[in-house]
Amino acid sequence: MAVKIEKAIRKALRKSSQVRAWSLLFLCVLIILFAIFLRFFVISVWDFDDKHIYVCELAICMKNSQEGDLLLARTGNGNPVLLWQVGKSGDSIDIPTPFDTVGLKIPQPGDTVIFEMLEPMLWDASLSLYKELNPDKKTKTKISLQSRSGEVPFAYVGRATISGRPVSEREVAFLPWQELRVLELQLQRIFPAIDSIHFKRKLLADSLEIESFTVEEELFYLSCGGGACYDSREKGFFRKKSLLGITIFPSWL
């Protein structure tokens, strides 16, 4: 009787060992498959400042991004690039410029952007956003030269220079706010008797003036952190749909 019991125990132990072995193998396979899924469908690896950066490309990872996070964003030509988050909708940020530090309030969903009330930098960013939201509309910037006393003859701009050459009246409407500011400073020196020379811009879409538009999604201001790159200084605001992921692991992993 004791021998039969001993044989039954050994048989049960062998079956238990086989079950444990197969269970362990199955678990290892699941872990490997999950790791492969993460690597190729969730996590991507990018080179940044000579380091490997791990980026989560799931929407849930982006939910609570904040200032200082390194985000993967799609630029205007479709190429992804890693950029630092400076601020997002609702934030007030300070942007250093060649002239001064400019305070910027990033619009929130539901805000109405009124072009006439915008500072030059925010005007450019809002123009870029409007054009991105309305790709089928033919937009045009109407620009005039103003002083505190009224409109100034626009031909005066031909007295200023950019990169050592005279400015063409036709190109002024296409210049970004930084170059317009340079022209304003030059014209103020050339015509000191005219009080506060500045450019005034209006946006036309399909030949109709656009005074305002409503922001309907979260916006981000992103920066490469220094040097020359395609970031919010050139593009303006990044829409949330342009964000592809966020750094989740330290670069030394």
Verify that 28 and 77 share a domain, yes or no: no
Verify that 31 and 84 share a domain, yes or no: no
Chain centre to alpha carbon of residue 189: 36
User: Is 177 among the domain residues?
Assistant: yes
User: Is 59 among the domain residues?
Assistant: no
Q: Per-10-residue mean pLDDT for the chain, 253 residues long?
A: 59 58 57 48 72 82 86 82 93 86 92 94 94 94 95 94 90 94 95 94 95 95 81 91 81 41
User: Is 248 among the domain residues?
Assistant: no
Kindly state the tokens that stand for 32: 């490997």
Q: Please report the pLDDT score of residue 37 as a whole number.
A: 46
User: Is 133 among the domain residues?
Assistant: yes
User: Is 14 among the domain residues?
Assistant: yes
User: Is 204 among the domain residues?
Assistant: yes
**Number of other residues whose CB lies within 10 A of the CB of residue 64:** 8
User: pTM of the entire structure?
Assistant: 0.78
Verify that 34 and 95 share a domain, yes or no: no
Q: Please report the pLDDT score of residue 110 as a whole number.
A: 95
Q: Please report the pLDDT score of residue 215 as a whole number.
A: 95
Report which of 62, 104, 81 is spatially closest to residue 223, judged by C-alpha positions: 81
User: Is 52 among the domain residues?
Assistant: no
User: Is 51 among the domain residues?
Assistant: no
Q: Please report the pLDDT score of residue 48 as a whole number.
A: 77
Verify that 20 and 137 share a domain, yes or no: no
Verify that 151 and 231 share a domain, yes or no: yes
Q: Please report the pLDDT score of residue 12 as a whole number.
A: 56
Report which of 122, 89, 90, 86 is spatially closest to residue 104, judged by C-alpha positions: 122
Number of structural domains the chain divides into: 2
Given a contact cutoff of 8 angstroms between Cβ atoms, the answer to whether 208 and 217 are in contact is: no
Verify that 87 and 25 share a domain, yes or no: no
Verify that 10 and 130 share a domain, yes or no: no
Q: Please report the pLDDT score of residue 5 as a whole number.
A: 58
Q: Please report the pLDDT score of residue 229 as a whole number.
A: 80
Verify that 10 and 104 share a domain, yes or no: no
List the domain range (segments joined by +) for residue 207. Answer: 67-242
Verify that 10 and 125 share a domain, yes or no: no
